Amino acid sequence: MSFDVNKLVRDNIRELTPYSSARDEFHGEAKVFLDANENSMGSPLIKWYNRYPDPYQTDLKKAISKVKGIAAEHIFLGNGSDECIDLLYRCFCEPKKDNVIICPPTYGMYEVSGNINDAEVRRAPLLQSFQLHIGQIEELVDEHTKMIWICSPNNPTGNSMKREDIETLLNNFNGLVVIDEAYINFSKHKSFIQELPDYPNLVVLQTFSKAWGLAALRLGIAFASTEIVRLLNKIKPPYNINQATQELATQALEEIGQVNDMIKELVGMRDALVRVFESMPLVEKVYPSDANFLLVKIKNARKIYEYLLTKGIVVRDRSNVQLCDNCLRITIGTEDEITLLVKAIREYSKK
Ligand SMILES: *Cc1c(COP(=O)(O)O)cnc(C)c1O
């Protein structure tokens, strides 16, 4: 295989002289910092919030590195995975010329971000089994195909993609294979992050928004080769991860025990809820889930969605999505929330 990241990257990005911030030009200890036009008097909040944050998030990356067992130079941090997705397009896809492949039904941002960046988005729908249609993906690839987006476990179907299929793509495709593992902590399957040394074309996305319970902080991770991390660093907004997020996420990483307890509880409730749904006459199918949600095929999904709204319960109506006819996507909530949901659906069926 002849993967060459220097051929893949856009010319203007390869040649780019990045913005050089005050914190780029000088880092280290000093007595007096008069180089960034900050307010040296202080801040109305926490004392040091008058200063710009570390543009490369050194301490936070060290903490992530320790938890994940991946060296810090393989870690890029974005303002949510959504920023990582956008930056990958900006780095590799020449507008109006390059294309990417997505496998719907899947996470919507791959397509929206592609449209914003004026990259052609080619669709290789999942099979009825919600697995990858490798033959069709391979047919869609041409010399302008820069990325294949794989979501595993997939949103909204909940299943994991077959490891051999992903490996086939990694071994045969000369562009980037981006694996979005937003839900990996709820899955019994292994992450691909340990495979980074074997695949220079692999990018793995993870996020603090789901299992870590920190959606509000906006923190996403891209694990990739040092070359790709260097390119992303070159084009990111200089201070894309704010100080509060850097501090709070570093703190959260020390609470991994608590997070693992929540994951265990959520997975337990998910598996119990599968059995509850399967016992309901209205439910036609509960799709197996490796995530913190269930995709449920149910009679009159739209009607039930609207009924639940009248009870103050919001689920996601996916019934207009390809292959998801009459499907609701239901996040695993607290025990009390699930009890309310189940009660409401039972009431609906008695009407
Ligand atoms: C929720 C989700 C994300 C998370 O995005 P953030 O910007 O990190 O909050 C990413 N990918 C998928 C598939 C998701 O469902």
Helices (H), the chain: 5-8, 11-15, 22-25, 58-68, 81-92, 109-116, 134-140, 163-172, 226-235, 243-252, 256-278, 301-310, 335-350
Contact 143, 340 (CB under 8 A): no
Range name among 19-23, 203-207, 295-299 with the lowest pLDDT average = 19-23
Is ligand 1 within 6 A of the CB of residue 216?
A: no
Q: What is the pLDDT of residue 1?
A: 56
Closest CA to ligand 1's atom 3: 182
Q: What is the pLDDT of residue 350?
A: 87
- Cβ neighbours, 10 Å, residue 25: 9
41 CA to centre of ligand 1 in angstroms? 38
Closest CA to 295 of 256, 262, 326: 326
Domain 5-20+54-254 falls under CATH 3.10.20.80: no
Cα 37 to chain centroid distance, Å, stands at 35
Q: Which value, to the nearest 10 degrees, does the dihedral of the CA atoms of residues 208, 212, 214, 217 take?
A: -30
241-253 mean pLDDT: 98
Q: Write down the mean pLDDT value for the chain.
A: 97
Domain ranges of the chain: 5-20+54-254, 257-349
Percentage above 90 pLDDT, the chain: 96
Is ligand 1 within 6 A of the CB of residue 327?
A: no
Q: Choose which residue among 83, 103, 109 to substitute to test ligand 1 binding: the one with the highest number of ligand atoms within 8 A of its C-beta.
A: 109
Given a cut of 70, whether residue 343 has pLDDT beyond it is yes
Give CA separation, 205 vs 65, 80, 146, 323, in Å. Answer: 14, 10, 17, 25
* pLDDT tens digits along 26-40: 888 899 999 999 999
Is ligand 1 within 6 A of the CB of residue 151?
A: yes
Cα 312 to chain centroid distance, Å, stands at 28
* pLDDT tens digits along 285-309: 999 999 999 999 999 999 999 999 9
Closest CA to ligand 1's atom 15: 155
Closest CA to ligand 1's atom 12: 182
Give CA separation, 18 vs 14, 174, 231, 235, 237, in Å. Answer: 10, 26, 10, 7, 10
Is ligand 1 within 6 A of the CB of residue 86?
A: no
The CA-based angle 262-268-272, given to 5 degrees, is: 145
Contact 194, 174 (CB under 8 A): no
209 CA to centre of ligand 1 in angstroms? 7
Given a cut of 90, whether residue 227 has pLDDT beyond it is yes
Residue 102, SS3 per DSSP: strand
* pLDDT tens digits along 84-140: 999 999 999 999 999 999 999 999 999 999 999 999 999 999 999 999 999 999 999
Is ligand 1 within 6 A of the CB of residue 81?
A: yes
Residue 200, SS3 per DSSP: coil
207 CA to centre of ligand 1 in angstroms? 7
CATH fold of 257-349 reads Aspartate Aminotransferase, domain 1 (3.90.1150)
Closest CA to 223 of 61, 19, 16, 57: 61
Closest CA to 205 of 187, 214, 188, 193: 193
Ligand 1 atom closest to the Cα of residue 220 is 8
Is ligand 1 within 6 A of the CB of residue 155?
A: yes
Contact 218, 80 (CB under 8 A): yes
Is ligand 1 within 6 A of the CB of residue 209?
A: yes
| 241 Cβ neighbours under 8 A, 6+ residues apart | 53, 57, 60, 77, 78, 79, 219
Is ligand 1 within 6 A of the CB of residue 158?
A: no
Contact 144, 7 (CB under 8 A): no
The H or E element that residue 298 is part of is: strand 293-298
258-278 mean pLDDT: 98
Closest CA to ligand 1's atom 2: 182
